[in-house]
């Protein structure tokens, strides 16, 4: 199994260069925000380990929200973020990008503070550590996705679609398809690569993370029990007093966001916002993100994030001494359906994480209300969403449901024996 990883190159943009950088990034697209996979600066499609990538200027439209707490208006720089989800090591992926697309990436990063022309060392130095990340199906590579998609198309074009009259006919049809695939592979017209061995370092890192989190939890639990009355009291006081900042989004900003969406069956989402001030909120958020990282590594590795099944990859990143957070995701379907999915299935999970952000709809006991107040939540998330200038997907037209179906088709094809019922069910996948 080849595990997935993320790179998160983030650097301040030189003051006054923001407009020129946006103009340059626009030359990398074929639709607003949608990458030309073979553009001259960064030909994404040439890098077979890359699932998703984006280039986005992190311009926070909600900075003034801190004034609701009596804090001065911050003046952070505008950052350029180059984010990617890849098979194997993120460092090796960056090295490959630097070697084969170095000229184009250097043209982009010359707009950033401190870029000295030494591309790979600079990217590695600016590759930020994530607070948490999520991979829908650990071990499913770009190569596997594309090969299984080709297999599905081959079989769908070959299968006899007349109604089956007996289970024996289903078995004969399946055997015909198996024979056809064998001949296509022998002729070199179809590839179905075997999975690579799982790197030992990945297993050790996963086990080490689990041990550290479990031991830390065991050690901390008695203290948390003793302190729980104070912590609950503090939470309830903050929940009653924290201001809600959920006005309707600016129509022009909303239109700009909508113009970047729905060119594919999947979409991108990038949001940024400030963490509520104080040690309590910042500490609570860090603790929650550690728990999310643990769950994503050890529990949610096979198609689900809690009950949500539409997210390919997601990440959380702290900025500016953990006073701000960036959240990004790649998801299937339209924006409204994506938000409704969260509201209906894991509104409590949204509250646990994002209620620590300034302006979130007021919660009760951390998990109640909040995102359940639908119109306020939808105003909030759109207001914090920012445009993604360049977004790349390696397998356009395919949803996570398609990927799961194609994997089941391959698994069924490679089985040496099937019952009549299993053969009928397998043929229905085609």
pLDDT in tens, 372-427: 999 999 999 999 999 999 999 999 999 999 999 999 999 999 998 888 888 888 99
Distances (CA, A) of 167 to 77, 103, 285, 287, 314: 66, 59, 56, 55, 43
Please check the confidence at residue 5 and state whether its pLDDT lies above 90.
yes
**Quick one: 274 and 408 in the same domain?**
no
**Quick one: 273 and 403 in the same domain?**
no
- pLDDT, residue 388, reads 98
N- to C-terminal Cα distance for the chain? 26
- pLDDT, residue 389, reads 98
**Quick one: 152 and 177 in the same domain?**
yes
- The DSSP secondary-structure symbol of 359 reads B
Residue 209 binned pLDDT confidence (cut-offs 50, 70, 90): confident
Residue 7 binned pLDDT confidence (cut-offs 50, 70, 90): very high
| Segment 318-356, tens digit of pLDDT | 999 999 999 999 999 999 999 999 999 999 999 999 999
**Quick one: 270 and 357 in the same domain?**
yes
**Quick one: 100 and 187 in the same domain?**
no
Tell me how far apart the alpha carbons of residues 64 and 87 are, in angstroms, rounded to a whole number: 39
Please check the confidence at residue 163 and state whether its pLDDT lies above 90.
no
User: What percentage of the chain reaches a pLDDT higher than 70?
Assistant: 100
Query: DSSP H helical segments within 187-311, as ranges?
Result: 200-241, 251-258, 279-298
Please check the confidence at residue 153 and state whether its pLDDT lies above 90.
yes
Partnered with residue 54 across adjacent β-strands are: 83, 391
**Quick one: 406 and 258 in the same domain?**
no
| Segment 74-108, tens digit of pLDDT | 999 999 999 999 999 999 999 999 999 999 999 99
- pLDDT, residue 161, reads 83
Domain that holds residue 163: 142-193+399-428
**Quick one: 224 and 301 in the same domain?**
yes
CB 400, CB 329: distance < 8 Å: no
Q: Residues with Cβ < 8 Å from 384, sequence gap 6 or more? A: 61, 62, 271, 272, 273, 357
Tell me how far apart the alpha carbons of residues 104 and 123 are, in angstroms, rounded to a whole number: 14
* Residue position matching structure tokens 């300034």: 358
For residues 401 and 162, which has the higher predicted lDDT (pLDDT)? 401
**Quick one: 58 and 147 in the same domain?**
no
**Quick one: 289 and 417 in the same domain?**
no
- pLDDT, residue 396, reads 98
Residue 269 binned pLDDT confidence (cut-offs 50, 70, 90): very high
Residue 208 binned pLDDT confidence (cut-offs 50, 70, 90): confident
- pLDDT, residue 135, reads 98
**Quick one: 123 and 258 in the same domain?**
yes
- pLDDT, residue 205, reads 85
Which of 370, 299, 377 minimizes the C-alpha distance to 338? 377
CB 281, CB 287: distance < 8 Å: no
Buried b (16+ CB within 10 A) or exposed e, 287-302: ebbbebbbbbbeebbe
Q: What is the mean pLDDT of the chain?
A: 95
Q: How many domains does the chain contain in total?
A: 2
Residue 306 binned pLDDT confidence (cut-offs 50, 70, 90): confident
- pLDDT, residue 169, reads 87
**Quick one: 225 and 368 in the same domain?**
yes
Residue 214 binned pLDDT confidence (cut-offs 50, 70, 90): confident
**Quick one: 276 and 417 in the same domain?**
no
């Amino acid at each position: 199994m080849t595990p997935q990883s993320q790179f998160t190159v983030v650097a301040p943009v030189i003051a006054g260069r923001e407009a020129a950088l946006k103009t340059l990034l626009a030359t990398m697209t074929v639709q607003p925000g949608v990458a030309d996979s073979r553009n001259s600066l960064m030909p994404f499609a040439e890098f077979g380990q890359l699932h998703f990538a984006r280039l986005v200027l992190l311009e926070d439209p909600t900075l003034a929200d801190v004034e609701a707490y009596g804090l001065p208006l911050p003046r952070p720089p505008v950052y350029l973020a180059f984010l990617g989800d890849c098979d194997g090591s993120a460092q090796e992926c960056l090295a490959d990008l630097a070697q084969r697309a170095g000229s184009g990436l250097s043209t982009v990063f010359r707009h950033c503070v401190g870029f000295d022309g030494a591309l790979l060392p600079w990217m590695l130095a600016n590759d930020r550590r994530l607070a948490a990340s999520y991979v829908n199906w650990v071990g499913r590579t770009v190569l596997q996705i594309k090969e299984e998609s080709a297999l599905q198309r081959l079989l769908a074009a070959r299968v006899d679609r007349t109604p089956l009259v007996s289970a024996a006919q289903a078995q004969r049809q399946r055997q015909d398809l198996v024979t056809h695939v064998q001949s296509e592979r022998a002729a070199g017209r179809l590839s179905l690569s075997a999975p690579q061995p799982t790197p030992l370092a990945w297993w050790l890192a996963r086990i080490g993370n689990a041990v550290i989190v479990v031991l830390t939890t065991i050690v901390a639990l008695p203290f948390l029990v003793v302190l729980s009355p104070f912590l609950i009291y503090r939470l309830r006081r903050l929940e009653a007093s924290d201001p809600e900042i959920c006005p309707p989004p600016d129509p022009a900003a909303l239109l700009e966001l909508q113009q970047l969406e729905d060119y594919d069956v999947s979409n991108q989402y990038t949001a940024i916002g400030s963490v509520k001030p104080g040690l309590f909120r910042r500490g609570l958020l860090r603790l929650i993100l550690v728990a999310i990282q643990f769950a994503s590594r050890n529990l949610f590795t096979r198609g689900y994030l809690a009950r949500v099944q539409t997210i390919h990859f997601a990440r959380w990143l702290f900025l500016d001494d953990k006073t701000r957070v960036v959240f990004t995701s790649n998801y299937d379907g339209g924006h409204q359906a994506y938000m409704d999915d969260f509201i209906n299935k894991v509104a409590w999970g949204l509250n646990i994480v994002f209620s620590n952000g300034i302006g979130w709809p007021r919660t009760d006991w951390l998990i109640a209300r909040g995102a359940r107040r639908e119109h306020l939540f939808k105003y909030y998330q759109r207001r914090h969403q920012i445009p993604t200038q360049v977004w790349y997907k390696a397998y356009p037209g395919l949803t996570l449901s398609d990927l799961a179906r194609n994997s089941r088709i391959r698994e069924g094809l490679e089985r040496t024996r099937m019952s009549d019922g299993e053969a009928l069910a397998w043929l229905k996948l085609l």
